[in-house]
Amino acid sequence: MLTSAFSPQAIANCLRVGDSGRWGVDLETGKDALINRTISRLDTAPPTLNLGHKNTPNGKARYYAQDFETDLILRATYRRLSKQYSVRPPNRDLMVLGLQEALSEASPFIVTRCDVKGFYENIAARKLNQQIICDTRTDPRIRTILQHLQDTDVIAETSVPRGLALSTLLSEIYLAEFDKTIRRLPNVHRYFRYADDIVVFSLPDKPTLDRISEELAEIGLELNEKTAEVYIKSMKSSQTADPRLESFNFLGYDFKIDNVTKSYQTRAFDVAIAQTKLKKRQSRMHLAFKDFSQNGNTDLLLDRLQFLTSNYSTYKTRHTRGARKQKIRAGIYYNYKHCGQFPSNKSGRTKEPYNAKELAALDAHMNALLFRPNSTYSTAINALSAPIKEQFRRLSYLQGYKKRIDKRFTRARMRQICRIWIND
């Protein structure tokens, strides 16, 4: 039986590392008062939720909590509904490992790669919201919260509120039956979905794209026109008429699969950083240089390039203190740690190091911006002291990946570094 969603202990379980700094609250001395204020917000009719929103460059509203109490109420709502519907956010790392396992199979198959069109804007959010409200398992106070979000148009007729974690949860609940239906198809042996991105592995003579479209149409959704059905064959090395390699991208990785297989061996394939992600880093690099040309802040340019070319750590937990803190690593290596070459092998799937030639190309581009005589920025860089120029010369995407170089930045500095990339 589920306990109260908004008991003092339930609210305390929603506290996280970094909350004190983010909201300016001393949780060592003010924790109990904060929890009491949060619970009292739910005693009003309607509940007191302070939400703001900003419009993204494409005109879509992005919501956020304007005070700590509202944030805690939304966190507690998320936690309870997640348990109620047995829904958890997808794990990117586990999905990539599952893809690698599926790709190593030597038998032929079809990979269907597609994504849902206007995902968050086309979910029948109010219909779903009413279903949750009418569910006898739903906590009465969660009903009032969801009804208030609907009455204030935060939950619109056909869209979930962008920016709130609740949006991800609602979308997962909405697609739960669709996921089950596709997984149960007799021709499907692997199914992966991360938000609106879908990959299906099916039998070679049983394509699934039409069925996916039909099932999405049943819930008011449709696929983007840009979809792909990649036929992975099992050829002998002497068969050269067909392409040797097939490819698709998913979750920030490019997968290249060998159509040639050997008896009693795994299939060979490569996993690399997706070109779209490389272009995004290059774009952010250009924005950093552009900002430098306007303000001349050398230290900020150096920190931004270090941020792009290295790794960093943060902490995440359900509590603000104690042993349950979890270090979360991110950056050029940790975001793409599953890259590598996977050769054909009799003993099962094995991984060889990522050659990272794409990162070497990024290094060459960065060094050209820094030091090439005809670069827009070379004059300013050449005017720097020798020790500072040496720090720029040491920057490397390739080394940041291979050596897993870590850099430390304060939260305030992180905000400065990322400010110019908010709309990127």
3-class state of residue 153 by DSSP: coil
Kindly tell me if the per-residue pLDDT of 318 is higher than 80.
Answer: no
Distance CA 100, CA 352 (A): 13
How would residue 315 be classed by pLDDT, with cut points 50, 70 and 90? low
- Written as one string, the DSSP assignment of 359-375 is HHHHHHHHHHHHH-TTS
Distance CA 297, CA 291 (A): 8
3-class state of residue 400 by DSSP: helix
Distance CA 113, CA 376 (A): 41
- Answer yes or no: are the C-beta atoms of 27 and 320 closer than 8 Å: yes
Cβ-in-10-Å burial (0-12, 13-18, 19+) of 357 comes to: exposed
Return the bridge partners of 260, or none.
Answer: 235
Q: Tell if the pTM clears 0.75, that is, is over it.
A: yes
Residue 157: what pLDDT? 86
Kindly tell me if the per-residue pLDDT of 411 is higher than 90.
Answer: no
Distance CA 46, CA 44 (A): 5
Structure confidence by residue, pLDDT tens digits, 345-365 = 998 899 999 999 999 999 999
Return the bridge partners of 202, or none.
Answer: 110, 188
How would residue 21 be classed by pLDDT, with cut points 50, 70 and 90? confident
281 alpha-carbon distance from chain centroid = 15
Structure confidence by residue, pLDDT tens digits, 82-138 = 999 999 888 999 999 999 999 999 999 999 999 999 898 899 999 999 999 999 999
Residue 2: what pLDDT? 66
How would residue 376 be classed by pLDDT, with cut points 50, 70 and 90? very high
Average pLDDT, the chain: 91
Structure confidence by residue, pLDDT tens digits, 383-398 = 999 999 999 999 999 9
Structure confidence by residue, pLDDT tens digits, 51-71 = 999 888 777 888 999 999 999
How would residue 317 be classed by pLDDT, with cut points 50, 70 and 90? very low
3-class state of residue 255 by DSSP: strand
**Sheet containing 340-342: which strands, arranged edge to edge?**
245-250, 253-258, 269-273, 340-342
Domain ranges of the chain: 1-88+109-228, 276-418
Spatial neighbors of 419 by CB under 8 A, at least 6 apart, are none
